[in-house]
Structure 1
Amino acid sequence: MSLFFIILLKVFPIYINVVLGYLSSKLLNVQRESVATLLIYILGPIVVFSATLSVKIDFAVAFLPIFLFVFCSILAFASLALFKNSWNDPTGNILAFSAGTGNTGYFGIPLAIIFFPPHLADIYIFTVLASLLYESTSGFYVTAKGNFTVGQSLKKMARLPILYAFILGIIFNIAGFEIPEVISSYTGQFKGAYGILGMMMLGMGLIGLKNSEGNFDIKFISIAYFMKFVFWPLAILGFIYLDKTFFTFLNEDLYKVLFLFAIVPLAGNTVTLAVLLNAKPEKASLAVFLSTVVSVLTIPLYIFLYGGF
């Protein structure tokens, strides 16, 4: 019980940000499209670039985002193939996107800071690049494919600066470049802004839920929650078992990073991309919001069953 209340107190500000996002759109007429654009085209690239330079990359650390990017992409394309014809709108595309990722940034980074020592929290943040890369490439593609042709989707994907920020960060890291301390303290502030605005976007996406029909899609929510809260943890635990038994690529600390990556709720960027692509943002917002509420119970439970961090 003590672990549950510790987590509840630590994540409480996240829920305040959701409420503030809702109120800012409801009362102040803040446009969620503008916030979504800021997240994807300005804050995201800065966070990605600076985080890429913050860790010492070795084989094991580099393996994490590569493995998770491939795993996320496989899940997304498999889900799209299975469910793309289950709805007469882009819901199947949003489901495919959400199946391949989770709220590893807005929600996961604060949790990593709570549970992990600083060096391991930095590795987790670096691993989150797998989600950002997935969301900017294959995840964006399976979402955009609901409203655009293949060629249009690829062109939109190629214009996302997060992809280039990641590549540039890797190049500079390998070259030994370090951001000056004065600059790094400045770029570090963007991590907080990214998390705050990301969760506010979730609240902004709730506008219109009462006036729209079909937002509580039990089929969509059931499949999405099964993938996130059942399949993801079991699949990662299965990989951890295989690595411990046969491969021994990783160590206990990196197993913890992998497991935390697997137990976060649905991705907040599900709403961000749904807004930008006009792909049922209200339905996505409700599903993401409810998953965030559910995770207040599931995260302490999974960490307890894992043996604690």
Structure 2
Amino acid sequence: MSVFLTLLMKIIPLYFSIILGVFSTAFLNCNKETIAKILLFILAPIIVFNATISVKLDASVVFLPIFFFVLSTTIAFTSLKYFNKIYSDNTANLLAFSTATGNTGNIGIPLAILFLEPNIVDVFIFTVLASLLYQNSVGYYITAKGNFTAKQSLLKVAKLPVLHAFILGVVLNILGFKIPEMFMDYTNYLKGAYAILGMMLLGMGMEKIKTNNSFDLKFINYTLFIKFIIWPALIILFIFFDNNFIHFLNKDYYLLMFIFSIVPLAGNTVTVATLLDVKPQKMSIAVFISTIVSLFYIPLMIFLFGMMKF
């Protein structure tokens, strides 16, 4: 019960940010497209660069974001092939994109602080780069391809500054550069701004829910099944295989990977859907419902994972 209450206290502020987003659009006529651009083209690259240049790199640490990036990409293209048989419009693209990632930042990082050792929390934050890179590269491409040609989509991906920030951060990390101490507090402020604006955008995306028939039960069921059933099942399978045969990762990293897999749908999917005008209201509904479900789902899954023999 104490774990559940602690988690609840971590998630409640996120709902307040969603309410602020609804208020800012409904009463202040704020432009959600502008907020989406700030998130995707300014805040995300800075956060990615800071995390990449700060973490201590070794084989297991580097493996984690690569693993999750490859897993997300595999889930995305596999599900896209399936959903193209069900939907004739870009709903298939949006489903494939959104179910292959999760809210590893706004919800995943507080969970990591709760359940992981401080040094493993730093590794988790670095692993979150996998989500940001997927969302802003492969995920962006898949979603954009619902409205644009392959060439146009690839050009959009190549222009995303988050990819350039990641590459620059890795290079400077290898060369031994560090973020000056005078900027450390500022980077923490940026992380807070990213979290708040990201959740506000989720609320802003609910502006036309009633008029656009955004509540799609089939769409929601697909997202919840893949995110809350398929994802943790795949991670448990990998952990079982590594624990019994490969022995590459330790038990702390097992819990890190499991937490990464059980977070709800990512709020950033609303950002991309908004920028590309691919049913952002429908995506907002699905993200909001998955966040509510996660309130009860996450403590249960953490409890069940603790009972497993790893």
Class of the TM-score when normalised by the shorter of the 2 chains: over 0.9
* Matching residue of 1:262: 261
Percent identity over paired residues: 55
* TM-superposed deviation, 1:122: 1.0
* Matching residue of 1:135: 135
CA–CA distance in structure 2, aligned partners of residues 84 and 93 of structure 1: 8
Which amino acid is the alignment partner of residue 77 of structure 2? Answer: F
TM-score normalized with structure 1 length: 0.97
CA–CA distance in structure 1, aligned partners of residues 221 and 10 of structure 2: 28
CA–CA distance in structure 1, aligned partners of residues 111 and 162 of structure 2: 23
5+ residue gaps in structure 1?
A: none
* Matching residue of 1:11: 11
Instruction: After superposing the two structures, state which structure 1 stretch, 109-118 or 67-76, moved more.
Output: 109-118
Contact 1:36/1:272 (CA < 8 Å) preserved in 2? yes
Deviations 1:5-35 (A, max 9, x none): 1211121111111111111111111111011
Deviations 1:48-85 (A, max 9, x none): 00011221110001000011100100100111111124
* Matching residue of 1:277: 276
Contact 1:98/1:270 (CA < 8 Å) preserved in 2? yes
RMSD of aligned residue pairs (Cα, Å): 1.1
**Matches of residues 167-206 of structure 1 in structure 2 within 5 Å?**
167-206=167-206
* Matching residue of 1:245: 244
CA–CA distance in structure 1, aligned partners of residues 297 and 88 of structure 2: 32
Runs (4+) of structure 1 exceeding 6 A deviation are none
* Matching residue of 1:216: 215
CA–CA distance in structure 2, aligned partners of residues 84 and 33 of structure 1: 27
Contact 1:76/1:99 (CA < 8 Å) preserved in 2? yes
Q: Does 1:66 align with 2:66?
A: yes
* Matching residue of 1:111: 111
* Matching residue of 2:102: 102
CA–CA distance in structure 2, aligned partners of residues 129 and 199 of structure 1: 18
Contact 1:25/1:204 (CA < 8 Å) preserved in 2? yes
Which amino acid is the alignment partner of residue 202 of structure 1? Answer: L
CA–CA distance in structure 1, aligned partners of residues 163 and 9 of structure 2: 35
* TM-superposed deviation, 1:110: 2.2
* Matching residue of 1:20: 20
Which amino acid is the alignment partner of residue 36 of structure 1? Answer: A
CA–CA distance in structure 2, aligned partners of residues 255 and 244 of structure 1: 9
* TM-superposed deviation, 1:106: 2.0
CA–CA distance in structure 2, aligned partners of residues 10 and 98 of structure 1: 23
* Matching residue of 1:159: 159
Instruction: After superposing the two structures, state which structure 1 stretch, 87-96 or 59-68, moved more.
Output: 87-96
TM-score normalized with structure 2 length: 0.97
CA–CA distance in structure 2, aligned partners of residues 219 and 10 of structure 1: 30
* Matching residue of 1:304: 303
5+ residue gaps in structure 2?
A: none
CA–CA distance in structure 2, aligned partners of residues 63 and 250 of structure 1: 10
* Matching residue of 1:88: 88
* TM-superposed deviation, 1:165: 0.5
For the residue of structure 1 that corresponds to 2:104, the secondary structure is coil
Which amino acid is the alignment partner of residue 105 of structure 1? Answer: G
Which amino acid is the alignment partner of residue 281 of structure 1? Answer: P
CA–CA distance in structure 2, aligned partners of residues 19 and 89 of structure 1: 30
